[in-house]
Amino acid sequence: MKGAEKAVPAISTDDFIKGLWRENPVFVQVLGMCPVLAVSNSAINALAMGLATSFVLVLSNTLVSLLRHGVPRQVRIATFILIIASFVTVVDYLIQAVSLELHRALGAFISLIVVNCLILGRAEAFASKQSVSRSFLDGLGMGLGFTLALLCLGAVREILGSGALFGVALFPAGFQPWTVMILPSGGFFTLGLWLLFFNYLRVRKPAVREAVPGGTP
């Protein structure tokens, strides 16, 4: 098996895991900030946006990988965008069919999944060069990592800004919500704090092990 792996890279769980933590699209790669900041004002919006993006990411990664031998280099970006835009349109119709309320809450940001650089980035950097199964796993991992990050922001912002989580009130009646947290500026505050936390974890670990002197990546 070791020998075979060198010739054709086999599927490994790392394709899936890396998107969740080590190469998390939001906290490590800092990609797709527009929906991260705009739609994370409540946990349910964050979850819906994350899942919609994951859906597009998995399907576009799979299709791009499937077609990778038939698409010449010169027109690859055009075909990627065409594929991504089609899946976004599909998601848009599906969300409208599931819930108009949700569609209203997410508003223009569903259509804007097209220009989320995370999706084009994965198509170009990974799916256009790798096998279908690896691209599928990569899309799934990155998508779930993105969803997880959005949920981290959405939960904090909803708890502080509305005193609730997934619409369930958490505090007694006297709680005065921090309205600023569900306004756009609250998105920046929360993202900043999460980035601080994740970078602290990443820097501290090597420093404790004394593997990297200084520890700043």
Partner 1 sequence: MRTTIRVDVSPSSASWPMYRALVGVGVLCGLLIVSVYLLTQPVIARNEAHALQQAVLEVLPGAVVSASFALTAEGGFRRAGDGDDPQRLVHAAYTSRGQLVGVAIEGRAMGYQDVIRILYGYAPQRQRVVGMRVLASRETPGLGDRIEKDPDFLANFTALDVTVTADGLSIEHPVQAVKQGAKSAPWEIDGISGATISSAAVAGILRASTAQWIPLVYRGRAVFVRSGAVNEGG
Q: Which is nearer to partner 1, 9 or 184 (CB)?
A: 184
Query: Could you say whether residue 85 binds partner 1 (CB under 8 A)?
Result: yes
Q: Which is nearer to partner 1, 94 or 169 (CB)?
A: 94
Q: How many CB atoms lie within 10 A of CB 217?
A: 9
List the Cα angle 19/154/26 in 5-degree steps.
30
Q: Which is nearer to partner 1, 101 or 210 (CB)?
A: 101
Residues 80 and 126 sit within 8 Å (Cβ to Cβ)? no
Stretch that binds partner 1, among 27-35, 76-84, 129-137, 139-147 (CB under 8 A): 76-84
| 9 φ/ψ sector (left φ>0, alpha ψ -120 to 50, else beta) | beta
Query: Could you say whether residue 53 binds partner 1 (CB under 8 A)?
Result: no
Single out the residue of 30, 75, 125, 196 in contact with partner 1 (rule: CB under 8 A). 75
Residues 35 and 109 sit within 8 Å (Cβ to Cβ)? yes
Q: What are phi and psi of 102, to 5 degrees?
A: -65, -40
Question: Which residues contribute to the site for partner 1 (CB under 8 A)?
Answer: 41, 67, 70-72, 74-75, 78-79, 82-83, 85-87, 89-90, 93-94, 96-97, 99-100, 104, 161-162, 177, 179, 182-183
